Structure 1
Amino acid sequence: MQLSLAELASRLGADIHGDASLVISGVNTLKDAGPADISFLANASYRSQLACTKAGAVIVNAAALADVPGTALVVANPYLAFAMVTQMFDNSPQAKPGIHPSAVIADTAILGHNVSISANVVIGEHCQIGDGCTIGAGTVISDHCVLGADCRLQANVTLYHDVVMGNRVRVHSGAVIGADGFGFAPDKGRWHKIAQLGGVRIGDDVDIGANTCIDRGALSDTVIGNNVILDNLIQIGHNVQVGDGTAIAACTGVAGSSSIGKNCTIAGGVGIAGHLELTDGVHIAAMALISKSITEPGAWGSGTAQMPLNEWRRSATRFRQLDSMAKRLQQLEKRHEGEA
């Protein structure tokens, strides 16, 4: 792919400061870019690299323009512009429409136009695959699943029965959608399985990372809203609801029947207990444990900050002593009040 800077600027709605005829053939960081690459500055921490970058052009906002030694594209949101440029130079292999002869497709399945179905794919009874979908090698789609238009399932994705996806959903390798939720009833030292009778409903423009698991509902459905992005290695429990525009980073676990609002961000390694409600616009810091519902938008965290190990050990010891210290403090306050 090669694009002139003028064409890039037109697509981005950017102002050009420099040589509009420059031909760009790649995207790279300020540090590693060469004369045929375009780079970007979205984080002020890297502003010092502008002076020595070898990039042919740099995407910046107006405030950083004076620091660019060469050609620049000026936009209001450099990070968004960078994302759009990467899509223009996307080098992912493009699947061709067609069905590999090793695919096993039920007679009752309905396939849309221009679908691409790779080797060893299995599609079950009464499934519907929308126009332009791409199904990677070894993927299994069980009975009564529905995929909207232009979905892309990478290799070795597993959809259990009754999974419904909207349009333009991307699912990466190893993801499992619709497995049984963790539902068991205890009785006299034994566990009795609760049949998981619901399904999974996924909205439009959702991205689901590698090896992420989304469990089916116990009775009603597990629901993932529109434009949700889920990183790798996430566990979404049964009957969880995730609102539109929410982003969840890797290794987060959401226990069953919790509800996460719209436009939330959940950082990596977060644990969210079951049967909680997080309102719209909640932002959770990495490694936090959320054990109570959050009814007001804002940022939340838990745990302790990073510190040297010996200091952490001393702090952990003192933390265990807080209860006894609080009781002694109460006794001293009462004694002081008595003496007064």
Structure 2
Amino acid sequence: MTLDEIAQLIEGEVVGDPNIVITGISGIKEAKQGDITFLANPKYTPLLKTTQASAIITSFEVNNTSKPLIKTANPSLAFAKIVSLVGPNNVRHPQGIHPTALIAENVKLGKDVAIGAYAIIEEGVVIGDNTIIYGGCFIGHDTKIGKDVLIYPNVSIRERIEIGDRVIIHSGTVIGSDGFGFATVKGVQEKIPQIGTVVIEDDVEIGANVTIDRARFDKTLIGKGTKIDNLVQIAHNVIIGEHSIIVAQAGISGSTVVGKGVILAGQAGVVGHIHIGDGAIVAAQAGVTKSVPPNTKVSGYPAKPHEQAKRVNACVQRLPLAYKRIKELEEEVKKLKEKLEELTSKLERGVK
């Protein structure tokens, strides 16, 4: 394809020779002659001078290169579109119903459903059109799964769960396990029944080895379009709003409400029974101990507004120098006290 043809696909603006022929796609570091690449993160701007790519997709602000460009509002999204159109796709999903799949008699399957080897589908399950369930999955009784859903191997979805359309669930994830609820009675931990459910709305993607607990009552809810990375723990009765992003190893405690468009960065921890406002950002490894207002960025432990957290951290980094200076001042004070005592003694002797 020529650069001009690619620009038309992504609605971009060509700067340079529009007739350059592009034969491959690659990252900006790995690209070679004939490849097209992209620049979305400003910290990689120096690579514009060293990349071997024949053309680069950039934002409209980039000008400091002699390379042919396609300028777009969102270079990362534009590049992803090109990859989806021309990139290799070697994934072979299961087709049809494998003879070793165990499917209860009263299960309702939509058109063109695929179920892989040794999957278990219990009674009362409803599965929508074009949904693909890989081998080794377990779908508990009375669960409802929408259309065009993709469930990778060894996913466990417990009983009475609701999953919307176009949901993607990666391997090892468990949805609907019991919430962590116990009451201490005379020193013994008594289990509290967890009789609620989990609702996963449309267009959600859930990474590998994620655990989403069922509610004690009512439901744990993952809102439409939300994306969850690998190794995330979501406790019982948590509500996550639409189009939020939960990054790897984050943990959300029970009954917390996460608003729309929220970002929880990697290893962020959130206590229970609080509210994270719409559009808030929780930085990596932050420990959130109280509610966060909408459109606020917090970081640190305990989490506080990011600018305040940076000032606190800057002070902490200066502690060794401050400690050294305090020790020096203590020595100076000690010497001054000794001189003062010496002068005082001389004065007293003179008076006598």
- TM-score when normalising by structure 2: 0.82
Give aligned-pair identity as a percent. Answer: 38
| Count of matched residue positions in the alignment of Structure 1 and Structure 2 | 312
Deviation at 1:68, TM superposition (A): 3.5
CA shift digits 1:188-213 (9 cap, x unpaired): 01111111111100111111011010
Q: If you compute each CA radius of gyration, which structure gives the higher value, 1 or 2?
A: 2
In the aligned structure 2, how far is the partner of 1:23 from the partner of 1:139?
A: 45
* Equivalent position amino acid for 2:160 in 1: D
Could you tell me which of 279, 282, 285 is aligned with 2:283?
285
Deviation at 1:78, TM superposition (A): 0.9
Deviation at 1:133, TM superposition (A): 1.0
Distance change >3 Å, CA 176–CA 96, structure 1 → 2: closer
- Structure 1, gaps ≥5 residues long: 318-340
In the aligned structure 2, how far is the partner of 1:151 from the partner of 1:92?
A: 19
In the aligned structure 2, how far is the partner of 1:219 from the partner of 1:312?
A: 49
Give the conservation status (yes or no) of the 8 Å contact 2:153–2:170.
yes
2:130 match: 132
Give the conservation status (yes or no) of the 8 Å contact 2:94–2:134.
no
In the aligned structure 1, how far is the partner of 2:108 from the partner of 2:19?
A: 48
1:69 aligns with 2:66: yes
In the aligned structure 2, how far is the partner of 1:299 from the partner of 1:238?
A: 25
In the aligned structure 1, how far is the partner of 2:66 from the partner of 2:188?
A: 71
In the aligned structure 2, how far is the partner of 1:125 from the partner of 1:7?
A: 51
In the aligned structure 2, how far is the partner of 1:21 from the partner of 1:58?
A: 14
CA shift digits 1:128-151 (9 cap, x unpaired): 111111111211111111111111
2:340 match: none
1:101 aligns with 2:122: no
Q: Where in structure 1 do 4 or more consecutive aligned residues deviate above 6 Å? A: 304-307, 310-315
Could you tell me which of 39, 42, 54 is aligned with 1:41?
39
* Equivalent position amino acid for 2:38 in 1: F
In the aligned structure 1, how far is the partner of 2:199 from the partner of 2:95?
A: 26
Distance change >3 Å, CA 313–CA 142, structure 1 → 2: farther
In the aligned structure 1, how far is the partner of 2:318 from the partner of 2:269?
A: 22
* Equivalent position amino acid for 1:298 in 2: T
In the aligned structure 2, how far is the partner of 1:18 from the partner of 1:53?
A: 16
Deviation at 1:110, TM superposition (A): 1.0
Secondary structure of 1:59's aligned partner:
strand
Deviation at 1:56, TM superposition (A): 2.5
Give the conservation status (yes or no) of the 8 Å contact 1:58–1:68.
no
1:234 aligns with 2:232: yes
Secondary structure of 1:201's aligned partner:
strand
Give the conservation status (yes or no) of the 8 Å contact 2:227–2:246.
yes
Give the conservation status (yes or no) of the 8 Å contact 2:245–2:263.
yes
1:184 match: 182
2:78 match: 81
